[in-house]
Amino acid sequence: MRKTLFRGFDGQKWVYGYYQQIKHKSNNELWDHITTTDIKTTVVLGNTVGQYTGLKDKNKVKIFEGDIIELCYKGWDPHKKIFGWSNHRLAFSITNIEDLKFNDILEIQQFPAENWYKRFLPYTEVIGNIHDNPELMK
């Protein structure tokens, strides 16, 4: 069983831990929080929250939603891909960055990571994420 882990950006750094939404006392807005293992709760930017996929790249780096990976497989040209959650498939999925030039929606051209990673994961490397490295999506 994989560990449930999230990350979120607080405006200065990435915070890792458990995710929760807490209603703010003054205005009843939901705020996104990450609680670390030392029980410190930090408000994070909601659009940066991503869950750990349970997968690691060839360097044993954890892969989170929103991570950009590069696949260099046996003589192929390198391909950049984004890990994300597919509401349609109810699974973590992978999108080819090249396909985003034709579609804005990550839901299109995805395939479940479970069927893919057994063959290709040993040839992948996390090279950034969609928040810190938007230039990699071009």
Domain count of the fold of the chain: 2
pLDDT in tens, 45-65: 999 999 998 889 999 999 999
Same domain, 39 and 62: no
- CATH code for the domain of 91: 2.30.30.290
Model pTM score: 0.84
Same domain, 13 and 38: yes
Q: Is residue 24 part of a domain?
A: yes
* Structural domain containing residue 85: 50-137
pLDDT in tens, 67-119: 999 988 888 888 898 888 877 777 788 888 877 665 555 454 556 656 677 78
Q: Is residue 1 part of a domain?
A: no
Residues pairing with 125 in the sheet:
70
Query: Does position 11 have pLDDT exceeding 90, yes or no?
Result: yes
Say what the pLDDT of residue 34 is. Answer: 86
Q: How far apart are CA 78 and CA 124, in angstroms?
A: 10
Q: How far apart are CA 38 and CA 50, in angstroms?
A: 20
Say what the pLDDT of residue 31 is. Answer: 84
Q: Which of 5-9, 22-26, 38-42, 116-120 has the highest mean pLDDT?
A: 5-9
Q: Is residue 100 part of a domain?
A: yes
